[in-house]
């Protein structure tokens, strides 16, 4: 149909090569694609006659009809002109020949794809930041930040603006979305686990076994990384460029990023002491982007599908106290006094005092107004640096001609309190800023574009989605739900889950408990065992004796319930009337039934998430 401008007087919509529709008359469209305009053999559009056996009593009638059809076809071949009969009137022909909206795509965003119509296995570029809140993208409602490249992904893909992590801490969250299962199910609930449990295969391993070439630059963080190099599991990555933190060597991590800096005669510590920050050209995010670009270019001439994980450390603070030091190039763009500041009011300190036995990295306090806004500017400036490098990677995809066959995912492992409710960093809390993260999925010509889905989504849903797109069988044990229906338009954009879950089971570990360190000796212990932490300015670690914290959250469209297990307290928020989560309705008698119903749902969800072990399959 290339070059066709009109079809029996009707403009013909363009057919993009990558578009295929699932309309029931799709076969008719493919047949009409081979016919020249104005010379349509009507007989070929009729349903072919079914041949009958000569012993069939209807054989004579069938033979006569078949002969007439055969003679008609011969005449049609000699004179391929448009015929009109009583059965095939001109208006009826026009209705048949005019392409319906769903039969030929006018725009990719209207396509409804069938699994048989998709091209071969797509490439996957998986960008995962660390500790990035959901409200840090200009196109998704933040007018103060500049993220042109992430905005471009939003325009060309689907943004799920109600996506939630399954733990507010790095290691359990990453274990969750890399397996499509809850942290408790895969026995990986803490930052201090000795090594990856192997309770379930990582999605990168599954895809590697299915023929994908997998690579990584940056963090993996599936086990404890303090003062050591992370033990590497059977992860499926062929290329593995590992770096955990901005200054790997100071943290006891000889890494590829540290080697890269050393090859340029630099070190992260010296750069920081000289400039007060790490310059853009030596930044870990820049290094991650360069490794990603090298990988993309190396696959320009190959037909092997690939997956690459770009896992930058940022905008995670440089120190658990919540400090950030972005390059001045990005920080100077912000008018600090014009920023909104955190969601915090005086009563928050009293609320946090009731939760003092639930672990958190920092103590709740009231921040100076300008200090709070400056911290917000530093955080957003770091996101702008990430956006710049995302743009470089997208340009490499386009330059190598691989963008049309590459799924791009942008997400984060969890959020950041950023001063909300008097808190910075992370811990055993479940406020929106801490557990709600960005999730953008883009595949030009295959997924819908420009859609902002309000569906409740978990990060566990990413793994089954990618396996389904790649044509790989989704393991029965996966607890995530595929998003493919929303991405292709075959499912309503707001229909996915009735609720989402999040867990905190001793996630920060013993370093935030200090149960074996006597009162008054915690500061000395930190200086002796972790001097790099003690040297951080404004350090506010909450070194505390006591038991580990355990909590679980369930969130519906309207309500959020948090059970702090063993502490005889909890939280209940009505997100429709109180989106900032200021008013705890846990003890409000008017919401007693809501609290009971959600508690039952939460208990059921906890039971259903239990790992029952491997079942015997042979006799």
Domain of 180: which CATH number?
3.40.720.10
464 lies in some domain? no
Of 255, 306, 296, 309, the C-alpha closest to 128 is 309
**Where in 185-255 does DSSP place strands (E)?**
213-218, 237-242
Would you call the peptide bond into 315 cis, given omega within 30 degrees of 0 as the criterion? Answer: yes
pLDDT of res. 522 = 61
Of 362, 370, 382, 323, the C-alpha closest to 342 is 370
Distances in Å between the alpha carbon of 500 and those of 164, 165, 313, 391? 7, 9, 26, 31
Residues 333, 338, 339: CA angle, nearest 5 degrees: 85
Please, which residues have CB within 8 angstroms of residue 603's CB and are 6 or more apart in sequence?
none
Q: CB count, 10 Å around CB of 616?
A: 6
Please check whether residue 211 is in contact with residue 232, taking contact to mean a CB–CB distance below 8 angstroms. Answer: no
In this structure, are 128 and 91 located in the same domain? no
In this structure, are 208 and 60 located in the same domain? no
pLDDT of res. 204 = 97
Whole-angstrom Cα distance, residue 234 to residue 73? 63
37 lies in some domain? yes
User: Domain tally for the chain?
Assistant: 2
Q: What tokens were used for 183?
A: 């942290």
Whole-angstrom Cα distance, residue 123 to residue 108? 19
457 lies in some domain? no
262 lies in some domain? yes
Please check whether residue 82 is in contact with residue 35, taking contact to mean a CB–CB distance below 8 angstroms. Answer: no
Q: What tokens were used for 78?
A: 């000699």
Whole-angstrom Cα distance, residue 160 to residue 486? 10
Of 338, 315, 330, 368, the C-alpha closest to 136 is 315
Task: Single out the residue in 51, 83, 110 at which a domain terminates.
Answer: 110
- Between the CA atoms of 457, 459, 461 and 463, what dihedral angle is there, to the nearest 10 degrees? 160
In this structure, are 166 and 238 located in the same domain? yes
In this structure, are 317 and 384 located in the same domain? yes
Q: Which helix (H) or strand (E) holds 128?
A: strand 123-129
In this structure, are 265 and 361 located in the same domain? yes
Q: CB count, 10 Å around CB of 343?
A: 18
Task: Single out the residue in 62, 92, 110 at which a domain terminates.
Answer: 110
344 lies in some domain? yes
606 lies in some domain? no
DSSP 513: T
**pTM for the full model?**
0.78
pLDDT of res. 7 = 36
In this structure, are 256 and 296 located in the same domain? yes
In this structure, are 105 and 183 located in the same domain? no
Tell me the pLDDT tens digit for each residue of 60-94. 666 666 666 666 665 555 444 444 444 555 555 55
In this structure, are 54 and 140 located in the same domain? no
Whole-angstrom Cα distance, residue 550 to residue 542? 17
294 lies in some domain? yes
pLDDT of res. 611 = 82
pLDDT of res. 514 = 47
Task: Single out the residue in 403, 435, 450 at which a domain terminates.
Answer: 450
In this structure, are 183 and 68 located in the same domain? no
Task: Report phi then psi at 542, rounded to 5.
Answer: -100, 80
Beta bridge partners of 430: none
pLDDT of res. 399 = 97
Beta bridge partners of 436: 164
In this structure, are 220 and 126 located in the same domain? yes
Distances in Å between the alpha carbon of 541 and those of 61, 426, 533? 92, 11, 9
pLDDT of res. 616 = 76
Residues of the chain with pLDDT under 50: 1-47, 49, 78-86, 99-118, 320, 514-517, 532-533, 536-546
In this structure, are 138 and 105 located in the same domain? no
533 lies in some domain? no
- What domain range includes position 45? 6-110
Residue 204: burial class (beta carbons within 10 Å; 0-12, 13-18, 19+): buried
Whole-angstrom Cα distance, residue 178 to residue 201? 9
pLDDT of res. 363 = 85
The alpha carbon of residue 612 and the mean position of all alpha carbons in its chain are separated, in whole angstroms, by 28
In this structure, are 125 and 106 located in the same domain? no
């Amino acid at each position: 149909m290339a070059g066709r401008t009109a079809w029996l007087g009707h403009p013909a919509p363009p057919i993009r090569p990558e578009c295929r529709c699932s309309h029931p008359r799709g076969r008719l469209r493919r047949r009409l694609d081979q016919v020249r305009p104005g010379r349509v053999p009507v007989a070929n559009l009729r349903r072919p006659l079914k041949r009958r056996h000569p012993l069939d009593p209807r054989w004579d009638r069938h033979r006569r009809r078949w002969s007439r059809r055969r003679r008609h076809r011969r005449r049609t071949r000699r004179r391929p002109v448009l015929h009109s009969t009583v059965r095939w009137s001109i208006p009826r022909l026009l209705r048949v020949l005019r392409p319906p909206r769903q039969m030929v795509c006018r725009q990719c965003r209207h396509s409804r794809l069938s699994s048989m119509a998709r091209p071969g296995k797509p490439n996957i570029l998986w960008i995962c930041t660390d500790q990035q809140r959901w409200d840090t993208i200009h196109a998704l409602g933040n007018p103060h930040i500049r993220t042109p490249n992430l905005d471009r992904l939003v325009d060309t893909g689907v943004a799920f603006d109600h996506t939630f992590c399954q733990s507010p801490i790095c290691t359990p969250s990453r274990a969750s979305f890399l397996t499509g299962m809850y942290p408790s199910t895969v026995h990986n609930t803490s930052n201090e686990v000795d090594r990856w449990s192997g309770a379930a295969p990582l999605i990168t391993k599954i895809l590697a076994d299915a023929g994908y070439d997998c690579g990584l630059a940056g963090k993996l963080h599936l086990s404890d990384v303090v003062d050591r190099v992370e033990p590497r599991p059977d992860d499926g990555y062929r290329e593995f460029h590992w770096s955990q933190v901005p200054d790997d060597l100071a943290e006891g991590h000889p890494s590829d990023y540290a080697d890269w800096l050393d090859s340029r005669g630099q070190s992260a510590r010296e750069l920081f002491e000289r400039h007060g920050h790490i310059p853009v050209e030596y930044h870990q995010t820049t290094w991650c982007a360069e490794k990603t670009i090298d990988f993309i270019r190396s696959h320009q001439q190959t037909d092997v599908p690939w997956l690459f994980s770009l896992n930058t450390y940022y905008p995670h603070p440089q120190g658990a106290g919540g400090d950030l030091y972005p390059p001045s190039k990005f920080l100077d763009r912000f008018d600090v006094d014009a920023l909104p500041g955190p969601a915090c009011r005086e009563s928050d300190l009293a609320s946090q005092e009731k939760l003092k036995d639930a672990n958190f990295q920092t103590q709740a306090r009231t921040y100076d107004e300008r200090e709070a806004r400056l911290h917000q500017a530093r955080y957003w400036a770091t996101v702008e640096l990430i956006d710049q490098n995302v743009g470089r990677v997208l340009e490499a995809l386009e330059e190598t001609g691989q963008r049309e066959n590459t799924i791009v995912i942008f997400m984060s492992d969890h959020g950041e309190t950023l001063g909300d409710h008097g808190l910075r960093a992370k811990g055993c809390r479940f406020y929106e800023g801490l557990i709600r993260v960005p999730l953008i999925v883009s595949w030009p010509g295959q997924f819908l574009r420009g859609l902002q889905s309000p569906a409740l989504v978990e990060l566990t849903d990413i793994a089954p989605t990618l396996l389904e797109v790649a044509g790989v069988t989704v393991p029965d044990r996966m607890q995530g739900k595929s998003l493919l229906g929303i991405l292709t338009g075959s499912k309503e954009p707001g229909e996915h889950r009735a609720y989402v879950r999040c867990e905190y089971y001793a996630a920060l570990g013993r370093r935030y408990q200090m149960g074996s360190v006597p009162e008054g000796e915690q500061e000395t212990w930190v200086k002796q065992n972790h001097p790099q932490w003690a040297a951080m300015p404004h350090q506010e670690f909450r070194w505390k004796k006591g038991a580990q914290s355990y909590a679980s959250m369930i969130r519906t469209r309207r309500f959020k319930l948090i059970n702090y297990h063993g502490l005889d307290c909890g939280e209940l928020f009505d997100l429709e009337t109180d989106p900032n989560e200021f008013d705890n309705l846990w003890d409000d008698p008017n919401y007693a039934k809501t609290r009971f119903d959600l508690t039952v749902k939460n208990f059921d969800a906890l039971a259903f998430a239990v790992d029952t072990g491997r079942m015997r399959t042979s006799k």
